[in-house]
Every structure is written in structure tokens, then in C-alpha cells.
A and B are shown apart, each in its own frame.
Chain A
Amino acid sequence: MKEGKIIHFYKNRKIFFAISAAIMIIGILFSIFKGVVLDIQFTGGALLSYSYDGEIDENRAGDIATDILGRPVTPQLTESISEGTKKLVLNIAGKSGVDPLDQAELEKALKAEFPQANLELSEAQMVEKFFGDKFMKRGITALLLSTALVLVYVWIRFKIVGGLSAGVTAIIALVHDCLVVFFTCVIFGLPIGDNFVAVALSIIGYSINDTIVIYDRIRENAKLYSGYEVETIADLSITQSMTRSIMTNLCVMISVSLVYILAFANSIESVQSFALPMAIGSISGCYSTICISGPLWVMWKKKKGENIITVEKKEEKKDTKAKKYYY
């Protein structure tokens, strides 16, 4: 049967690094000029949304709300594409929730002002700043802790191909993907909240899983083709596992994109803000695994003067001191 050709990822690394750098710069520029929107889950704040029929003067509704709540209110009207349900969204300024009594009073006033509109409360989200800070701290802890534990795991499991180098380059790929998810949120104006943490954590899981499959192949090939250059071994391993990376991420992307499309058509924002960064994150995860973490690992090895990996099967279990001799 016909054999495939090795793709030279390492040789073309500068192109890949440039692409990633460009994405990062665009993302940073967006973050600076467009600003990062934190979800009221993390900052504290108040949001009310009502479903209605017919027409509503949103500015009038905003004025009523400002009057009753004593805080500036930004009104907004939304309409779902598939079912045509209309909603009045009231964004209440400030970093605290609204007292339930005031909320009940506001609802009464709105119903009195628009008796024809059939107003119904659809969603209320109130967060005190104290809890917002707490949720944010928890989210960040979860992110950092899982990154650290993953690093430790990879370090231990991949001692044979130089545990630390494998761990660190895997983490670089992972940070890359998290940043892509973050920038996606910024560019599309999605608020950073619990959803972001969930997406970032699943991308961490995926991205590390992807990278591990390649390191695993490197570990295997290093034994099989003892004496070859690191560059060749890495390119070979990446090429061998490339279809797998693409297939898996394609499947993830299909499922998440479907969720996004349906959520978009029904204008369910909480689901959308989860699915979109997830879909883009899975593309990034596939890309960073294939084009970034492998070549980076080779660079690390070369810098240390370890151009050739020689692993003899028997030596696998010897201590690190003995192994140094062979690298």
C-alpha cells in the first residue's frame, strides 16, 4: 500500500508561530479597545428580562425602572429568530442585586404601564458584589489548579521524552487555547463568567488530551527509531496522529456548533455564550497541538543540545541520572 509523507512541521514552525502571534495581538488589541466584559456573576449586578407581545416603548420601560429602582437602567429589546418570542431586557447599573420587593413593585408598574403587552418575568439575575468576587476567585482557582495538576501528571508520565519539556510545552499550548477562548469572548462581546470557566476547563482537558496523544507517539517512536533526530521523530509523530486530531475535533465542533446554531435560533443566550467559544476553542486546540506544542518541544530539546533521542528499551526504568547519559 502507498505510504504517506511526513509533513515538516518543525521546518515551518515560524509560519505557525507567526499565525498564533498575530491572533494574540489581535486579541490583545480587542481587549484594550473593546474592553473585557465580565458577567454580573463575577462583578455583581442586576439583570431582568420579561417576555411580551406586541409593541413596547423600551425607553419608557427603562425610565419607569430607573424611577422605581433608583439606579440607571438600560433597556433593550430582543427577538428570537425561530419562534419570534420578544423580550424586554433591563440592565440595571451598579454592582449589587435588587431587593425582591423592589423587583415585585417594578413588575407591577410595568404591567400597569403596558397592559396589552402580556408581560411575564422570564429571567432575573441578581448578584451582590461580595458573591461575585467569591465566584470569580473560585473560577480562577479551578483554572490554575487544574493547569498545575495537569502539568505534574504530564511531567511524571512522560519522563522518558524529558518530562518537564513535555509538560511545559503542553502548558504553553493550553494557555494558547485558553487565550483564544478568552479573545473569542472579548471579540463577540460575550461576558466572562461561569460559562467561560467551564469552556476554558474543557478546552484544557481537550488540548492536553490532544497533546498527550502526540507525546505518546513520540515516546513510542523514540523507542522504535532510536538514533534519529528529535525533529524527525516529532514530525513523524505529529503526522501519524494528525488525522486523529482532526477527526476528534471535527466531531466536537459538529456537536458544539449544532448547539450554538439551535441556541442562536431560539435566542437562548446562556447556551450561546457557552457553545461559541467552545467551538472556536476546539479548532484552536487542534491547531495548537499539531502546529505549536510539537515544534516547541523540538526547539526546547535542540536548545539543550539534545539533537538525538536514544532510548533503549531496557533503559526505560533506570533513574534519571543514568538516562542523561543516553540523551
Chain B
Amino acid sequence: MKKKLGFFGVLLVTALMVYIAAFGIKTEKIKLYGAPDIRFGIDIRGGVEAIFQPVGIDTKPTHEQLEAARAVFETRLDQRNIVDREVIPSTTEGYIIVRFPWKADETEFDPAKAIEELGQTAKLTFRDAQGNILLDGQHVVNAKPDRDENNFPVVSLSFDDEGTKIFSNITKKLIGQPLSIYMDEENICTATVMTQITNGQAVITNMKSFENAQKLANQINSGALPFSMETKTYSTISPSLGTGSLKVMINAGLIAYIIICILLIVYYRLPGFVASIALLIQIAGQILFLSIPQMSLTLSGIAGIILSIGMGVDANVISSERINEEIRAGKSIEAAIEAGFSNSFSSIFDGNVTVLIVSIILMLYGSGSLASFGYTLFAGIVFNFIAGVTASRIMIYSLSSYKFLKKPALYTCLTRRVTL
């Protein structure tokens, strides 16, 4: 009885996976994202990807300087209300990769200009409540997050000689009054001056968290950055071009899936039908692998999905061919299925491990689009093991236990058995 129900069990799991992959589940307790919430890469939804390098210094920027430059990018992107972005500094290479989308309805948006403005040197200023500039951020030697004696997060600042003098005068005048720090025209922090600070060592208290202190310190450090950031390696893709490509890929994928199913069912019959369900599990699994951790799906990622459909087909084709051979050798259906699966396992395993090696190398060595291709290929192989090997086996075993499906003709194909 348990065996008989196996097929329906797999079918239920498939339906569930396809449902979540297609619509996602969003309740108060659980949030599983599906296809509608997939994050698309810049090449699909349109946007900018740029590699910024420092200009004006000969050596590689330090980790701290890069973090400060990153804080500038983040603040400026915030100002433009671009929330969904990636700013990735690479300390070993000394550059920063920035990716941000560009929405279809923003006709006024000029990507080239936006890129140019992002890289400009940040102007950090200390201002009073009336907005008068009192001190230039260049005089900040260093800002770093810290903890005070009560273990509360703070930001500590130190000024150069000239800055110390000016700051001493400011704090003398402004005791009890607010002093603000601006990046460009954005107010990033306002604090009340408690006492006159003459030694050039200031502390900003009342930070919400250590992370906030870190962020503010990075922003303040940008004022003294000895370089601006420039890019001549960037790509811009308009949203209409991107969505066009997405449509092409999805249509191609759907038509390909249908043709492959017809081919498999006509040629391999019952195992072919099972293979079509297994492929569905694999594709749904891949979508969930992308949508749940919110990985970006790029065009080459979609290519990876379409490719692994091919790999998934292979596992099923190998087992189906083997079952056919065993039946033609005169075995009973049950024995043939048993032998078919066990004989085909090692070649499916070896083949998948090699592709797995390739996909991991792609993830490690590939930049951007290649890495995305590797990721979906990797997911495809993982689910190929689950679907093409395990789920297919359960389904065929289960179906073959029904009397009306116990006909050898349902398990054989045109391939002839060859022996010596």
C-alpha cells in the first residue's frame, strides 16, 4: 500500500514546490519567496554596473579608505532613493563594484551622469543650526567606532592641528547648541556640543548601535579621503532591453519544456511521463534556490536553468534506456526497474559530479554573469539528484505496482538491446 501511494506523495510534493515557486508563501510566520519576488540582475531589469577605481593616489587604498568611499556611495544612492543596490569594496584589488537598478518609469534618469556624480570626492562639512559652514571635513584625521566606559557605542574623532584650533573655537561658541555634519548637502549627524574641546579629540555619543557608529565613522572619514573615485569600466542596460531578453528566455524555456516532455513521453512512455514530473521538480527547486535566499537571477543564470534541464533529461534517459534493456533481456517489470536504476546510478553520479566541479569553479572564478550561471547550474545538479534519481525511482516503483500499468510495452522504447 505504501508503495502504491508513493507516486501521489511525490506528486503532492511536486505540486507544493511548483505552487511555492510560482506564487511564494507569505504569512506572518513564514515567508518563502517565489518567482514573483525573484531578484533580477541588472542585465534583466536594467541598471548600472560599474567598477570604481581611486584616482589621485599611487598606492592601493587602505581598507578604511575603501570603507569610507563605500559610505559615500551608499549615502549618495540613499539620496537618490535607490535602495536596492550592491556596493562591494575589494580591499585586495583596491576597487569598488557598484550595481544599481534603473527603473523603467524614470525617464529623466541619466545613468552616465549618475555614475559620474557617484565617484566625485565627497564634501564633508561641519555646520551650525543655521547651516553656516564652520569646518571642512578635510581636517578630520580619523573617525572610528568605539565604546564608552558604559559600553555604549560612540564615534571618536580626531582632528589635525588646524582642525583642532578651529574645532576648539566652534565648540566654545556652540556649547549647548547643535552641531551638524553634512556629506554633500545631506545631514548625516546632528549632535549637541557639551563642552569646549581643545585637544582635537571629540566623541559623538548616543549612537543607536555599534553598526550605526561604524557607518557614521565611515561617512566622516570620507571627508579626508585623498582621492576621488573614477570609472571607465561600466555597463548600462536599459530596462526595456533587459525585460525583452527575459521574455525571450522564459518563452524559450516553456516551449523547450513542452517539446522535451512530448519527446520523452512518446519515446519512453511511462518512464518518460515520470521524467516530465521529475523535470518539473527540478525547475521548481531551482527557482526556489534563487528566490528564497534572494539571489539575483541574471540572463546567464536563466541559461544555466535551461542547460540543467538538459542534464535532468539525461539522468532520466539513462534510467529509462536501462529499464528498456532489462525488459528486452527478459526480466520481469519489477526486476527490470530494480536493475535499471541500480545499473544507471554510477554513470549518472559520475556525470553529475563532473558538472558539479565545473559549476563550483564557475562560482569561485567567474565574475558577475559567470558566477550566476554557475550558481543555477549548481542548483540544477543538486535537484537533479533529488528529482532525476530519487523522485523518479519512487514514482516508477509506485506506478508499476498498479495492475493496469503492469504492461512491458509501457516501459520499453524503440532502442534495441545489443549484446555479444
Could you tell me which A residues sit within 8 Å of B by CB distance?
A: 1-6, 51, 83, 96-101, 103-104, 107, 120-128, 131, 135, 138-139, 141-142, 145-146, 149-150, 153-154, 157, 194-195, 197-198, 201-202, 204-206, 208-210, 212-213, 216-217, 220, 225, 228, 232, 236, 239-241, 243-244, 247-248, 250-252, 254-256, 258-259, 261-263, 266, 268, 270-271, 274-275, 278, 282
Q: Given A122-B238, A194-B370, list of 12 further CB < 8 A pairs? A: A3-B418, A97-B232, A120-B238, A194-B369, A197-B370, A205-B359, A209-B314, A209-B350, A216-B350, A236-B418, A251-B317, A271-B245
Could you tell me which B residues sit within 8 Å of A by CB distance?
A: 43, 51, 110-113, 115-116, 230-238, 240-241, 244-245, 247-249, 251-253, 255-256, 259-260, 263-264, 267, 299-300, 303, 306-307, 309-311, 313-314, 317-318, 321, 325, 328, 343, 346-347, 350-355, 357-359, 361-362, 365-370, 373, 377, 413, 415-420
A-B contact pairs, 27 of them (CB 8 A): A1-B417, A51-B240, A99-B230, A124-B235, A145-B361, A150-B354, A150-B357, A198-B366, A201-B358, A201-B361, A205-B354, A205-B359, A209-B314, A216-B346, A216-B347, A236-B420, A243-B321, A247-B263, A247-B313, A250-B263, A251-B317, A252-B313, A255-B256, A262-B251, A263-B248, A270-B43, A274-B303
Residue B244 contacts which of A139, A197, A268 (CB distance < 8 angstroms)? A268
B233 touches A128 (CB 8 A): yes
Complex: A254 Cα to B115 Cα, angstroms: 41
Closest to A198 in B: B373
Q: Hey, which chain B residues are within 8 Å of A202, CB to CB?
A: 307, 358, 377
Closest to A237 in B: B418
A271 touches B299 (CB 8 A): yes
A258 touching B255 in the complex, CB below 8 Å, given contacts A98-B232, A104-B110, A128-B233: yes
Complex: A225 Cα to B419 Cα, angstroms: 10
Q: Hey, which chain B residues are within 8 Å of A213, CB to CB?
A: 318, 347, 351
Closest to A213 in B: B347
Closest to A48 in B: B236
Complex: A35 Cα to B184 Cα, angstroms: 50
Number of A-B contacts (CB under 8 A): 248
Complex: A241 Cα to B417 Cα, angstroms: 10
Closest to A199 in B: B303
Q: Chain B's interface: helix, strand, loop or mixed, by majority?
A: helix
Complex: A127 Cα to B51 Cα, angstroms: 9
Residue B317 contacts which of A98, A208, A248, A271 (CB distance < 8 angstroms)? A248
B317 touches A244 (CB 8 A): yes
Closest approach, in angstroms, between the C-beta of B316 and any C-beta of chain A? 9
Q: Hey, which chain A residues are within 8 Å of B352, CB to CB?
A: 209
Closest approach, in angstroms, between the C-beta of A294 and any C-beta of chain B? 14
Residue B51 contacts which of A131, A205, A255, A282 (CB distance < 8 angstroms)? A131
Complex: A252 Cα to B314 Cα, angstroms: 9
Residue A2 contacts which of B43, B416, B419 (CB distance < 8 angstroms)? B416
